[in-house]
Structure 1
Amino acid sequence: MATETQSSGGPGQGHQGRQGHRLGKQRPGGPGQGLPPVLRRVLLDNGALSALVVMIVVMTLLSGDFLSTQNLLNVGVQAAVTAILAFGVTYVIVSGGIDLSVGSVAAFSAIMLAWTATDQSMPVWLAVVISLATGVACGLLNGVLIAYGKLPPFIATLAMLSAARGLALVTSQGTPLAFPDAMASVGETLGGWLPVPVLVMLVMGGIAALVLARTYSGRAMYAIGGNEEAARLSGIRVRRQKLVIYGLSGAFAAVAGIVLASRLVSAQPQAAMGYELDAIAAVVIGGASLSGGVGKASGTLIGALILAVLRNGLNLLDVSAFWQQVVIGAVIALAVLLDTLRRRT
């Protein structure tokens, strides 16, 4: 049987060889072929990191204030909330889904913390637990609608985007709520110079990377995103894993909401509007594929830093906020285009 298999593969191999020979003749004219092989591989495998380095160099040349310690710390603070949201969204996108609700869930979770701690006079630690549970519950509801209700992720999370925002407005009566003093320190600095939001971002990034690389659920996310039917046939309980995936996304959104409210020193029902788009953009810029099966926490962090560096640098250069949106949109489109070219290569 082995001999027959090998002989039957001969014609196909010969055809592939001839086809490869023809393709080989075309390779010198391909994009990036003039670069040294090592440099080309580095650029293709670490495109987001290369882009971040180039942006830092360009911004440093254009503005003398960019590379100051204080400004770099500001960049980290600006990236923190987006990055924490994006870590949760990474799970969803790796599994082939989408989560449009994280911004609203972040605001609702922060409102619940402030409402329970101030209006209901609950202990701060219990208010934090309720806030995190709120985020997880919203995520689990997304997962139930998607896994068991068979709703498309876009529709289910779009519904949650509206519902969570509405619940935040109802709970707060449409007004900002005072944030507990004990939690306000999350938005401050440690030792007078190191921003706590940056530390929280790094811790959450480490957790996200650990889950993706070292846990059963992380491996299941890649399998589901690569081929959901094959994952199901291989024994993965896809519906249960989707509950885990969206529950984790909700938990990360709750943490992001707490960090944002701590920075604002109040929980605002309209906070984090549009942040879900920044989170998705950070994941895509970081190298994840919207079709699923590809993505890393480190890439997501780099994507969030790219957005923060871009906004910070454009502010230093006095570029209009309207034009900033145009530039960011172009960067997102370019990131997806480069990802497509990388996969073809």
Structure 2
Amino acid sequence: MAPRTRLPSWLSACFLGLTLAACGGGGGGSNGSGDSGSGSGADDTRTASPFIAPAGALCAQRDANSNNCIQPTSSSTDEQALFDAISDPNGSVIDFDGPGYMENELFSVGKISITSYGMARRRIQAGRNAFTVDGRRYGEGKRSQSGEDIRYVYKGDRGSNVTVELIKSMGHRKETLWGIGLREDERATTPDTTGISWTTVFGVLTDQADAPKTRKVRYVGTVWTLTGTDGRILEVEDVTYETELDTVTGRLAGVRIDYTNPKTRKYMQLELPELKFENSRLDSASRQQRTSVQTGITSYNHSFTLDGLEGEILGKQAASIYLVGGGAKGALQVTLRRKDQMESDVVINVPFSAKP
């Protein structure tokens, strides 16, 4: 089977290909660096553009064509209430627009190989205990649980399925659902045919009414990469770094990573430039960034370039930031979580002072 990413151990338990999602918890006092931030923040962020306008109460606004509910924002709901609404068989259908990475796969007898990678935004219609992804419907979710992991599998045509996992924190708020991960597997039924897996995270975009009250918010996160084809797959994960978001300008500090895991000897080298958010999503210039990535272990090395980036600020008080990129030869995901909501003993491989 093709490899799957996992959530780092200091964040949460394994999900089939996700490392990031929004946190439903609050927070907004300290920025995580022991500094309350400069400027008023609360007034500035409500008149600036880094965060999206509030959508109002859940399903208060509907799409003029489909009559589906528009994607909710953080001042009106959280991830747990959102999933409860989605799984209600008598509820409404909610539209989402999610960024994710793709694995293009070749199916042969007893084997699935990744042939190439990519990135795409797909339209998700979620509700009445079913999901429709770019017009493909998956219904009748079946629930399973292992520890804190809660997973639902929704069946589609020809063996295809959508797997949805409710992601819970290993930090201060263990009872809080802080993300909804979705993986669509478009499967084929005969050997030597192709399929696609697409992985994303969705939830509530942080809005202006729920923006952090401090000017600077510190984050801790993980960078994960996947590359390689024809059975030579290289997955590098659990490289942690620290960064900072300016809630007035919407700028997220960049980072230069050159790190080798002392146990696995896997290494990762890349530079994420400074990025800018508008309406809780990366602006056009940031999305067009082409980032080069080098990963390897001993004599087995890979280099690839991302065709671009996508990213969103999610959850209560900008709890999380999700970044994803993809190119023909590899994919990248970045998980960022507010430092003041993390466990105090989290190991940071690349501290904030190491920024370019």
- With normalisation by structure 2, the TM-score equals 0.24
Structure number with the bigger relative contact order (C-alpha 8 A, sep ≥ 6) is 1
Larger strand proportion of the pair:
2
- With normalisation by structure 1, the TM-score equals 0.25
Larger helix proportion of the pair:
1
